[in-house]
Amino acid sequence: MARALDTAHRATHGHEALNAATIADLENPSPASVSVVAFDPDDRPLGLAHMAPHDTLQAPRLAGSIVLASDAGPVVAHRLLDGLVTACADAGGGRIVVWTQGTDDDVDRAAMADGFTREREQLQMTVALPIDESPRWPIGVTVRAFVPDLDDDAWLAVNNRAFANHPDQGSWVADTLARRRREPWFDPAGFLLAFDARGLAGFCWTKVHQHAVLGDTPDPVGEIFVIGVDPDHQGGGLGRALVVGGLDHLVRVRGCPTGMLYLAARNTAALALYRSLGFHVRRTDRAYAIEVAADRRARS
């Protein structure tokens, strides 16, 4: 079902239908995961909405994705969103955040009518590798790969300081990091740490996608998965050097002809940095949010 929708979505839009967290949860659902599906009278899939508990501490909530077949329309979107809201109310209420990969006018219309708000937008940016720049590390900075366990606490502290205002990335705990370390793609050699005399100053964590994550190429895609510079060190050139160093690893060591990353559309500092390195926006994803009371029942 998810695969059929994904295949059709890739053919029409040139990219995957569901985000990575949703795909991972569909493959290995948590006990609280919810999937709502819609079919036409001939049993052809018209849409899927899925949500699962988000695994960071800040604002506990259910997060997921929604995808429609190209001819499904806003009524199907409404039914799917209603299904999520009803399941959330039945489970005691809470906050739901649901993403579309790219923007979808039918989902947008249904979400607005159903009381969701447009919470935020995320840009997917890509760049052809290699880029024409080598890392220029600020004076006094040394760089090495992440060492699991040894570097966990320092990394969590700098990550949470750098992303203090970010709803997903700014409140990681040891368990969040441990789960990412267990993912099959995790490779400490592609997780660069930059130190100065005071300790960890910044990092660039990369992730290689072996499958056709961009929809149009079988080649591996190298993602800048998370990059952060401690607020005390920002503005001194370290962020630029870390991005360039991460891309260099992705193309030279991992053989990726394309670099990719996601960033919040409102993150103007990072957007300026990535554009100046040659990245361009490939897609805009949108998140919708709603607070569901325990006694709320979705409209039929």
Our CA angle for 166, 169, 172, nearest 5°, is 125
240 belongs to the binding site for ligand COA (CB under 6 A): yes
215 belongs to the binding site for ligand COA (CB under 6 A): no
Q: Among positive and negative, which fits the CA dihedral 20, 24, 27, 31?
A: negative
Beta partners for residue 203, in sequence order = 193, 228
Q: How far is Cα 80 from Cα 86, in angstroms, rounded to an integer? A: 10
Interface pick for ligand COA out of 36, 63, 81, 270 (rule CB under 6 A): 270
> Which amino acid, 71?
D
Interface pick for ligand COA out of 263, 287, 290, 292 (rule CB under 6 A): 263
Select the span of 28-36, 71-79, 98-106, 270-278 touching ligand COA (CB under 6 A).
Answer: 270-278
Task: Identify which of residues 72 and 227 has a Cβ nearer to ligand COA in the complex.
Answer: 227
> Which amino acid, 22?
T
Select the span of 12-20, 32-40, 186-194, 233-241 touching ligand COA (CB under 6 A).
Answer: 233-241
Interface pick for ligand COA out of 213, 214, 238, 244 (rule CB under 6 A): 238
- Min dist CB 7 to ligand COA, Å, is 29
234 belongs to the binding site for ligand COA (CB under 6 A): yes
Interface pick for ligand COA out of 51, 227, 256, 287 (rule CB under 6 A): 227
Task: Identify which of residues 145 and 269 has a Cβ nearer to ligand COA in the complex.
Answer: 269
Do residues 295 and 85 lie in contact, with contact meaning Cβ atoms separated by under 8 Å? no
188 belongs to the binding site for ligand COA (CB under 6 A): no
Interface pick for ligand COA out of 45, 102, 228, 245 (rule CB under 6 A): 228
Beta partners for residue 35, in sequence order = 50
Task: Identify which of residues 110 and 214 has a Cβ nearer to ligand COA in the complex.
Answer: 214
- Min dist CB 222 to ligand COA, Å, is 15
Task: Identify which of residues 64 and 202 has a Cβ nearer to ligand COA in the complex.
Answer: 202
267 belongs to the binding site for ligand COA (CB under 6 A): yes
Cα distances (angstroms) measured from residue 119 to each of 7, 78, 97, 219: 27, 18, 8, 33
Across the chain, the runs of DSSP E, i.e. the strands, are 34-39, 45-53, 61-68, 94-100, 117-128, 142-145, 191-196, 199-209, 221-229, 258-264, 280-292
> Count of alpha carbons within 13 Å of 156, Cβ hemisphere only?
17
Do residues 111 and 160 lie in contact, with contact meaning Cβ atoms separated by under 8 Å? no
207 belongs to the binding site for ligand COA (CB under 6 A): no
Where do contacts with ligand COA occur on this chain (CB under 6 A)? Answer: 162-163, 227-229, 234-240, 261, 263, 267-270, 272-273, 276
